[in-house]
A and B are shown apart, each in its own frame.
Chain A
Amino acid sequence: QKEVEQNSGPLSVPEGAIASLNCTYSDRGSQSFFWYRQYSGKSPELIMSIYSNGDKEDGRFTAQLNKASQYVSLLIRDSQPSDSATYLCAVNKISNFGNEKLTFGTGTRLTIIP
């Protein structure tokens, strides 16, 4: 089982609709969860972080976390063509030496159709 799993897509969503991106993780001890957006040829940029169960909203973005199900999701409302990108889920993990590191999923490619 992969440590962080995402549906690779591509996911196509009409402009103005809600895009839903999902991620599952294997380490029950993980405490911090992040969503990054990556445009083609660019480096990932942080768009959301979530640390406790429930929803966290920031503008058109909502992150949802369910630790019991080991599931984190990202909703993008009123999708715009500029949202077309690859979205990476990242989960923190404590190494064998007690240090924190982030493990990434392989990403979901999202295309917003005008």
Chain B
Amino acid sequence: DVKVTQSSRYLVKRTGEKVFLECVQDMDHENMFWYRQDPGLGLRLIYFSYDVKMKEKGDIPEGYSVSREKKERFSLILESASTNQTSMYLCASSLVNAPIYFGEGSWLTVV
């Protein structure tokens, strides 16, 4: 079975804090993704990575950055958290031209 692990499930951070969300997959997948999910807006792609140290902006990259130093690990960084970044964040991974598999999600509240 594909295993995508998001280490932080529930976080509460203060406005202006730097936030790291970590994601690890154990299936040697080339592609990794970060989405956020909000009621009424669905899943929106923040950033994705198709290889180590390679990344591409998704639909809503503003306020976020990412890092992929190793194939199995993809980190999402909120440089200065704001209340409008309160959301559920979903990491996913896939082989090329294949379905993506999600982690369990990270619920972030910014106060």
Contacts and interface: CB of A to CB of B under 8 A. Distances in A.
Interface of A: 31-32, 34, 42-46, 49, 88, 90, 92, 95, 97, 99-107
Interface in B64-102: 90, 96-102
13 contacts: A31-B97, A32-B97, A32-B98, A32-B99, A44-B43, A44-B90, A46-B99, A46-B100, A90-B100, A99-B50, A100-B31, A100-B96, A106-B42
B104 interface: yes
Residues of B in contact with A, size category: 20 to 34
Contact of B56 (A31, A44, A95, A102): A95
Contacts of B35: 104
A49 B99 contact: yes
B105 A101 contact: no
Given A99-B50, A101-B58, A43 B100 contact: no
A43 B104 contact: yes
B61 interface: no
A46 to B, nearest CB: 5
| Residue with the highest number of chain B CB atoms closer than 10 Å, among A31, A92, A101 | A101
